[in-house]
Chain A
Amino acid sequence: MSGLSKSVLYDFCLRMGDNTLILGHRVSEWCGHAPVLEEDIALANTALDLIGQTQFWLGLAADVQGEGKSADDLAFLRDAWDFRNGLLCELPNGDFGQTLMRQYLFDEWHWAMLTALQNSSEKRVSDIADKAVKEASYHLERSRDTVIGLGDGTAESHDRMQAALDYLYPYVGEFFEADTVDEAAAKEGIAPVLESLREGYDAAIKATMDAATLRLPDSRFAHKGGRNGRMHTEHLGHLLTNMQWLQRAYPGASW
């Protein structure tokens, strides 16, 4: 593999793995705090799947990098500016409705992306996608149902879901805007052309929001800067102080 291909594959895996790591950590923050026991278990299970997928993606990134690092090294020994997750993933949980809306907006993209990655020219990528897409489709089924249930629920739950959608929707566009890494990955057949996923995504979330009696914002304005690391939100740094606390307080600790 050429140096350029290696660097594209490394960046691509970081983006996939940082999405699942940061969102997985966020969702795990609910553990023990969800409104009912069943939802607590559902959130913890979702977080577990995402963190399991992270081990595959960051493990592959570390292999490709070839510096003897592990998935754990990449998760715990990088600082905010080295993370490549979409901004959506790092946004705070807010209330339960906001958490589920964030999950749904991510799951719909994640499922489409993983489905496309099953045809990746890179076997190690398609292997991970084959595994992860099964979990993602299960997440999607639940987050879609919950968004519809809460949107088309009481006046209170409807208003909260509409507020969550208004807040989160501007963070969706980042997942579809390609930069040089995405273009190179698409050219090599590692990943799909990002924009090609947008039409299906838009149709899916429109159908869900209609069923949920929620209104999609008109503006396509998109906050960006997470996937290329140029500018994360202030929330990522706070998340990392928690997630990386052990390695920061006791560098090199292991058991």
Chain B
Amino acid sequence: MTQPSPLEVMRWLDQVPDPEIPAISLVDLGIIRHVEWAGDALEVTVTPTYSGCPATSIINFEIEKALRDNGVEKVSLKRQISPPWTTDWLSEKGREKLEAYGIAPPQPAGGPAQCPRCQSSDLEKLSQFGSTPCKAQWRCKSCLEPFDYFKCI
């Protein structure tokens, strides 16, 4: 087969959902740092969100599977920890999908801008940690619903 361009590969990976937040893709999450051909092998550089994120091995598996499904035979995954992942790398599309899914996207101010359900800004923090390392728990004081906030790091 002819070698697909890195841009084409990124489009494939943009179809792979994050295993813990399936509303957004691995590309939306900003963890695919680089794609290039090294001879006949496709090198994909991935950075972890959190050091201990338990989804890391599943993510690697999903990447390999997506590439093989598209006909790539030799895949080499490289882990890169520097520069460290930041929520600034979330795509604009990813932020919108998060909000539509009920997870408030990260804000530089350090807390959610509004309730993802009723858009109220009358909010309170329940816990600095949530159901995955990348989230915290908040509650809307207008509609009283608790919701996840994607932590800004």
A: residues with CB less than 8 A from B are 38-39, 41-42, 45-46, 48-53, 55-56, 126-128, 130-132, 134-135, 138, 141-142
Q: Determine the distance from Cα of A135 to Cα of B128 in the docked complex, in whole angstroms.
A: 12
What would 7 A/B residue contacts be, using CB atoms closer than 8 Å?
A: A38-B137, A46-B129, A49-B52, A50-B52, A53-B52, A131-B84, A135-B51
Quote the shortest CB–CB distance from A17 to chain B (angstroms): 12
Give the contacts of B106-153 with A (CB-CB under 8 A). Answer: 126-131, 133, 137, 151, 153
Q: Determine the distance from Cα of A134 to Cα of B83 in the docked complex, in whole angstroms.
A: 12
Q: Determine if B71 is an interface residue (Cβ-Cβ < 8 Å).
A: no
Q: Which chain A residues border B128 with CB–CB below 8 Å? A: 42, 138, 141-142
**Pair B52/A41 contact, Cβ less than 8 Å:** no
Interchain CB contact (< 8 A) of B81 among A41, A45, A50, A127: A127
Q: A127-B82, A130-B83, A134-B153 are in contact. Are A55 and B127 (CB under 8 A)?
A: no
Q: Determine if B54 is an interface residue (Cβ-Cβ < 8 Å).
A: yes
**Pair B153/A138 contact, Cβ less than 8 Å:** yes
Q: Determine if B53 is an interface residue (Cβ-Cβ < 8 Å).
A: yes
**Pair A41/B50 contact, Cβ less than 8 Å:** no
Give the contacts of B36-55 with A (CB-CB under 8 A). Answer: 48, 50-54
Not counting A42-B127, A131-B81, a sample of 7 additional A-B residue pairs whose C-beta atoms are within 8 angstroms of each other reads A39-B127, A41-B130, A49-B51, A55-B52, A130-B82, A134-B84, A141-B128
B60-82 interface bits toward A, Cβ cutoff 8 Å, 1 = contact, 0 = none? 00000000000000000000011
Quote the shortest CB–CB distance from B101 to chain A (angstroms): 20
**Pair B133/A126 contact, Cβ less than 8 Å:** no
Q: Nearest CB to that of B86 among chain A residues?
A: A134
Q: Which chain A residues border B127 with CB–CB below 8 Å? A: 38-39, 41-42
**Pair A41/B129 contact, Cβ less than 8 Å:** yes
**Pair B133/A49 contact, Cβ less than 8 Å:** yes
**Pair B50/A52 contact, Cβ less than 8 Å:** yes
Q: Identify which of B83, B127, B153 gathers the most chain A CB atoms within 10 Å of its CB.
A: B127
**Pair B82/A53 contact, Cβ less than 8 Å:** no
Quote the shortest CB–CB distance from A162 to chain B (angstroms): 24
Q: Determine the distance from Cα of A38 to Cα of B48 in the docked complex, in whole angstroms.
A: 24
Q: Determine the distance from Cα of A78 to Cα of B73 in the docked complex, in whole angstroms.
A: 39
Q: Give the 9 A-B CB pairs with smallest separation, nearest first.
A: A52-B52, A52-B51, A38-B127, A127-B82, A48-B52, A42-B129, A131-B84, A45-B129, A131-B81
Q: Which chain A residues border B54 with CB–CB below 8 Å? A: 48
Q: A138-B153, A142-B128 are in contact. Are A48 and B81 (CB under 8 A)?
A: no
Q: Determine the distance from Cα of A141 to Cα of B141 in the docked complex, in whole angstroms.
A: 24
**Pair A48/B130 contact, Cβ less than 8 Å:** no
Q: A45-B129, A141-B128 are in contact. Are A51 and B52 (CB under 8 A)?
A: yes
Q: Determine the distance from Cα of A138 to Cα of B126 in the docked complex, in whole angstroms.
A: 15
Quote the shortest CB–CB distance from A16 to chain B (angstroms): 12
Quote the shortest CB–CB distance from A169 to chain B (angstroms): 25
Q: Determine the distance from Cα of A183 to Cα of B17 in the docked complex, in whole angstroms.
A: 48
Q: Determine the distance from Cα of A130 to Cα of B85 in the docked complex, in whole angstroms.
A: 10
**Pair A41/B131 contact, Cβ less than 8 Å:** yes
Q: Determine the distance from Cα of A45 to Cα of B135 in the docked complex, in whole angstroms.
A: 10
Q: Determine the distance from Cα of A128 to Cα of B153 in the docked complex, in whole angstroms.
A: 16
Q: Determine the distance from Cα of A5 to Cα of B54 in the docked complex, in whole angstroms.
A: 33
Interchain CB contact (< 8 A) of B53 among A42, A46, A52, A127: A52
Q: Determine the distance from Cα of A48 to Cα of B129 in the docked complex, in whole angstroms.
A: 12
Interchain CB contact (< 8 A) of B84 among A41, A45, A130: A130
